Structure 1
Amino acid sequence: MSVTGFIGRALLASIFIKNGLDHLRQPEPIVRAARGAEIPEPELAVKANSAVMLGAGAMLALGVAPRTASAALAVSLIPTTVIGHPFWDREGRERQQQQTQFMKNLALFGALLAVGSRR
């Protein structure tokens, strides 16, 4: 693996590691969003998603099974994006902010697909 590839993977992984830790430390806002989206067992769902972000993020950063780690992160990003950033039912500035976060997550999803498809 090249130095730039290593740095790129580590930088991509950093947001997942940070958010995984943050959501484990302070799950309440995320649990509320999951409850509002009628996710069964929202506390467990948030803990599981946080563990995936933290564990797969660390794996990706370290280059341990990067294809598997990228796939796990990409899958976890889908409900996070749809539930966490529903710009379609917001208005004004809040709609713009949520749409920006939604698009950022789509960009992360694309980066994970690119990393996961490398041989």
Structure 2
Amino acid sequence: MDVLVLIGRILFCVLFLNSAVGHLTKTKAMAGYAASRGVPAPVQATAASGVLLLAGGLMVVFGVWADLGALLLVVFLVPTALLIHPFWKETDEQAKTVEMVSFFKDLSLAGAALMLLAFFSYAGHDLGLTLTGPLFDIT
């Protein structure tokens, strides 16, 4: 089971780590998009979200306080869904559909990250193939 959980952690975080690279290497371009969506301080928000994605993703993959890493991903995903993908504001049907898919993808990933938070916190040190145990104790 330990190997399956490790593979799952890696596959779950590929998206976040790839996005982190984009946020940190194409900050100005991504900040332009964030600004168009009304995000305050878009350059700083883009860089900060890249750090959040990178830290959370690496923590989950390597099992270093993986519960906290999962929580960091939730902290990224929920505001992103609400601020960047507000499909209810779109008037064009195609744009609305694209934003709706992205909105619900982010919410679904936030739900999965919350489950990982609970899983890591509950399993504690019994979960193998991690570098540390959980930071939180949900028992």
Q: How does the TM-score come out when normalised to structure 2?
A: 0.78
Residue 128 of structure 2 is aligned to residue 117 of structure 1: no
Partner Cα separation in structure 2 for residue 111 and residue 56 of structure 1? 14
Query: How many angstroms does 1:33 deviate by?
Result: 3.6
Q: Counterparts of 1:5-84 in structure 2 under 5 Å?
A: 5-36=5-36, 37-39=38-40, 41-84=41-84
RMSD: 1.5
Secondary structure of the residue that 1:64 maps to in structure 2?
A: coil
Aligned to 2:100: 99
Contact 2:39 2:83 in 1 (8 A): no
Amino acid at match of 2:118: S
Whether the 8 Å CA contact 1:14–1:61 is kept in 2: the answer is: no
- Alpha-carbon contact 1:33-1:83 (below 8 Å) kept: no
The range that moved more, 70-79 or 21-30, is 21-30
Once the two structures are TM-superposed, the CA of residue 43 in structure 1 deviates from its matched residue by: 1.1
Q: How many residues align?
A: 118
Task: State the secondary structure of the residue aligned to 1:4.
Answer: helix
Could you tell me how far 1:115 is from its partner in structure 2? 0.4
Larger Rg: 2
Q: Where does structure 1 lack aligned partners over 5 or more consecutive residues?
A: none
Question: Counterpart amino acid of 1:115?
Answer: L
Which residue type is aligned with residue 103 of structure 1? F
1:72-101 Cα offsets, whole Å, 9 max, x none, are: 110111222122212111121111111011
The Cα of 1:51 is off from its aligned counterpart by: 0.6
Counterpart secondary structure, 2:64: coil
